[in-house]
Amino acid sequence: MRTERRLHRLEEVLRHRQPDLTVVMENIHDPHNVSAILRTCDAAGVMRIQLLYTTTEFPDIGKKSSASAKKWIECRRFSGVEDCYRTLHGEGYSIFATHLEESAKSPFEIDLTRRIAIVVGNEHEGVSSEAATLADGILQIPMFGMIQSLNVSVATAVILFEAVRQRICAGHYDKAKLSGDELARTLNEWAMKE
């Protein structure tokens, strides 16, 4: 009985997963932030993310309480921007980096229902100039205050949940995006996790 309810729950979550929405974390070092971003990704239905660590080690998030989100998100590691972007472009993603610049677009004004990868950067330095230059577009959240930036996990959440809002409106959570085979295979993997 318990197993059946559990499987049902896992399948429900998989039916809501959005394989066409992904995140690239570039050199984010604070485990609180990594942890909060993974939790937000899980809630938004993100299936897989890219850990792009060119200058720092991937932080140890194993001991954080919300590290449990990590269990349900596939993480791919890259150590170079070009390699990461080539892979994502090969999979059909448009790549948008968050960066402060004149040509930046508001996430409220662009179509986030497309196949898209959002690049978020280091707490102190933001997204690297290489990651910004090679991206297909630049995103900037409109801000009206004295402080000219947001916490990186907050900024990621604002963009991902704008994607969620647009995708709810467009019916993207109404039926499974994974193929029958992928869904069955992933369900099987997930069921083994506990």
Residues that bind its own copies in the complex, under the rule CB under 8 A: 9-10, 13, 16-17, 32, 36, 39-45, 66, 68-69, 71-72, 108, 141-147, 149-151, 153-154, 157-158, 161-162, 164-165, 168, 173
Task: Indicate the residue among 84 and 99 with the shorter CB distance to its own copies.
Answer: 99
CB of 118 to its own copies, least distance (A): 15
Q: Which residues pair with 24 in a beta bridge?
A: 50, 119
Q: Which residues pair with 76 in a beta bridge?
A: 50
Q: Specify whether the CB–CB gap between 155 and 1 falls below 8 A.
A: no
DSSP string of 5-49, one letter each residue: HHHHHHHHHHHH-BTTEEEEEES---HHHHHHHHHHHHHHTB-EE
Residue 176: how many CB atoms within 10 A of its CB?
A: 15
Task: Indicate the residue among 36 and 84 with the shorter CB distance to its own copies.
Answer: 36
Task: Indicate the residue among 89 and 115 with the shorter CB distance to its own copies.
Answer: 115
CA angle at 151 for the pair 148 and 152, rounded to the nearest 5°: 110
CB of 173 to its own copies, least distance (A): 6
Please give the Cα distance from 6 to 191 (Å, whole number).
Answer: 8
CB of 142 to its own copies, least distance (A): 6
Task: Indicate the residue among 134 and 158 with the shorter CB distance to its own copies.
Answer: 158
Task: Indicate the residue among 84 and 152 with the shorter CB distance to its own copies.
Answer: 152
CB of 158 to its own copies, least distance (A): 4
Please give the Cα distance from 54 to 128 (Å, whole number).
Answer: 10
CB of 56 to its own copies, least distance (A): 19
